[in-house]
Chain A
Amino acid sequence: MGDYKLFDKTAEFGNGFIIAFVHQSQLLYFVLFLPKMLQQSYLLFGILAVGILSQINLFILSKSMSYMDSKQGYNGFAKLFGHRNLRIIAFAGIAVILIKLCFIVLGYAEIVHQFIFPSMQPSWLFLFIMLICTYIASQGMEKTLRFGIIAFFCTFWMILLYIPYFVPPGADVLDLYPLIPAGRDEHPWKGMLMIWSSLSGPEYIILALPWINPKQKALTYLSIANGISVFLYIVLFMACLFFFGTPYLGKISYPVLNMIRYLQTPVFERIEIVMISMQMFQYVFLASFLLLSLYGAIRISACSVHKETGRKGLYGVSFFVLVCLFLIDQFFGRQGKELNGWTNLQLWSGTLTYLLIPSLLLVANIRRRRRSSH
């Protein structure tokens, strides 16, 4: 076991990786029922507005990334915050990462349960997904990140499935009217928050900092990925509005997946099954990345960074996650799907991490620069 290293670095990834990572992290579970929560067509502008805010945020992120010395990894962060503070931050990070990880796995299991295996116990699905994630994570960070590229190509084409919904007579521009909110009785804030939270995820790229080279035009690639995501959000939302219309959209669970059931091919009928299965690549990639991050965060807060990484530790962490999944499922399972307490928790935690991490990092970097220049 001596030469077994999880966080080894042998190669540097190109910038395409940044696009793949950001794109994958922004098109996760929330997107699948975002149209249902937005419902009103004028929130198309909401998506655009939040997309621009997200762009500003990515600008801050890339700025603070360019200050960091990417080669140093843990030591870079330790210099920036101090060992003690870093341990506290990592400890807080455990909670955040754990929430996000559980959220992804639970969300995916829920979808599979609803669309593919309604008669199966969801806990089996947790087990299978965690087994796959553990396997991928045990290959080390570098291979996991490479897996992200595969996942990207497995899921990117799915947007093509939505083209038929834009063909008249099904798509009628009258479905989008009125584009200006009429009454003041609606509450778009929850929807806006949800867009922001579903756009969150790119902040986790700082955890993969040693493997990427952020100095070269990182901002350009972050922006491209963000632009693609915002575009896809708009496409999906418009497709949902065309297909269901505003009032009916509010009654559909997972409208983005549900509408795929309407497609027909001469070869096979249930395209959504193929689509959901392919999406597993994306969910598994992010879950294994987060699993490794969780393992790293636990090591930092336990002050065992300089010890060798071992499989046993990683297996322990994934077992811990599995137990968490069962507990969360037990606890929140009865509250109904979609916007229950658990989803709200992720809604807020995603919002806060995306809002705070880039700015905090920037502030810390600027303070350190000032200190060193004095």
Chain B
Amino acid sequence: MRSPIFTVLLIGCICFLTGFSPFSDQNTVEEIAPVTFLAVKQGEEKGSLTVATLVPPIMNEEKQFFSTKVRLLEQGRRQFNFKYYREIRFGQLRMLFIDEQIAKTGIVNLMDTLLTDPEVSPRLFLIVFKGDFEAYTKNQMQKQKDLDYYLYRMFKHYEKENQGEIAVTNIHEFMEKTHTPYSDPYMPVFNVDKNCFSYEGTGFFSNGKLKGQTDKEQDQFFLLLSKSKFLKNVIIEPLDLSLGEVHAIVKKQVNLKDHTVVLKIQYRGRIDEYRGSKDLNSQADFYELTDEIKDYLEEGTVSLLKTFQELGVDPLEIGRQTLTPVSKSMSAEDWLTFWKSAKIKVDCSIELEPLTI
């Protein structure tokens, strides 16, 4: 009764076992190298790229830094395969380091390439770097064996809800924000040289092109207003003060008639270091300091928003406040012209716990 099915199964098994199979992907661990990052840089000629990576990612072997000049990203993978005895795979790709130059010319097509590959996760971290990535990696991998893994852990750490410190973003968020009107993507910017890999601030994109970035001081305000709305530490140098565990509750309003954008921000935090001259135990001094902090935060936020206006970006998605359930929304261009010339009003209030021992 069951003989035909049995025969088919038997033939099937024989085919698979003898290596005749329809799968052309072979995933033998010894033969593949699932790299964890790619660093993309502008090549010397126009339109060309320099792609770099570190192999092998896991094996207990001497690490090698590969770099090649190509026109297409996938061509990079092919070039690496020519030089290396393992096949490069993107299945474990976690980070994409993008050179500042290339970020300025537009990176949406690079993202498209990566998203087309079903192996590449949409959670791939995106990072802008300035400087010589090759020198850093070559120098650092002498000292630190699993360099790429620890870099990944760093981004993973800050990605988790409410970690603050670095505005981490991934490829999905980047693409969604690029395509959605009234919202522009951002990426962390790192400065790389032979000896260090250090965080510089957040870079802002519009239409897939890097427009500008914040410095460290401004970056604190951006982090407090963006997704996580939390910072472990806000350093206020002019007042010789540090605020800890700062949470922000942000209300954004767009007033089309008055041509103004209003931000109401409620901060909550505690003073965790103070080296100034005021006596925090005196009520009057404490109030005075609170006012000074408030003014500082207000000024800083206004200057951040002014920067956004100059750059013509809206990473805080303020324009989305104009959306209503019923009326027709304004076009993205109309919003941008409005935003560039809008008056800004920032209204901060701060709730402070004093420095206690």
Contacts and interface: CB of A to CB of B under 8 A. Distances in A.
Contacts of B284: none
Nearest to A177: B323
Interface stretch (B54-62, B115-123, B200-208, B269-277): B115-123
B192 to A, nearest CB: 27
B325 A247 contact: no
Nearest to B329: A178
Nearest to A127: B22
Per DSSP, are chain B's interface residues mostly helix, strand or loop, or mixed? Answer: loop
Contact of B324 (A119, A178, A248, A262): A178
Given A114-B118, A135-B5, A262-B123, A182 B328 contact: yes
A319 interface: no
B326 interface: yes
Contacts of B5: 135, 138
A262 B122 contact: yes
B232 interface: no
A119 B122 CA distance: 20
Contacts of B345: none
B72 to A, nearest CB: 18
Interface residues of B, number: 27
Nearest to B156: A264
Contact of A174 (B121, B176, B323): B323
Q: How large, as a class, is the contact surface on chain A?
A: 35 or more
A91 interface: no
B84 to A, nearest CB: 20
B180 interface: yes
Contact of A120 (B23, B180, B320): B23
Given A115-B118, A177-B324, A180-B325, A264 B123 contact: yes
Contact of A117 (B8, B25, B181, B326): B25
26 contacts: A115-B118, A117-B23, A120-B23, A120-B24, A131-B8, A135-B5, A172-B320, A174-B320, A177-B324, A178-B324, A178-B326, A178-B328, A178-B329, A182-B327, A183-B328, A245-B176, A247-B179, A247-B181, A248-B175, A248-B176, A251-B179, A261-B118, A261-B121, A262-B123, A264-B123, A311-B4
Given A169-B227, A247-B179, A251-B179, 15 more contacts: A116-B118, A121-B22, A172-B320, A174-B320, A177-B323, A177-B325, A177-B329, A178-B325, A179-B326, A182-B329, A245-B179, A247-B181, A248-B180, A261-B122, A262-B172
Interface of A: 114-121, 124, 131, 135, 138, 169, 172, 174, 176-180, 182-183, 243-248, 251, 261-262, 264, 269, 311, 315
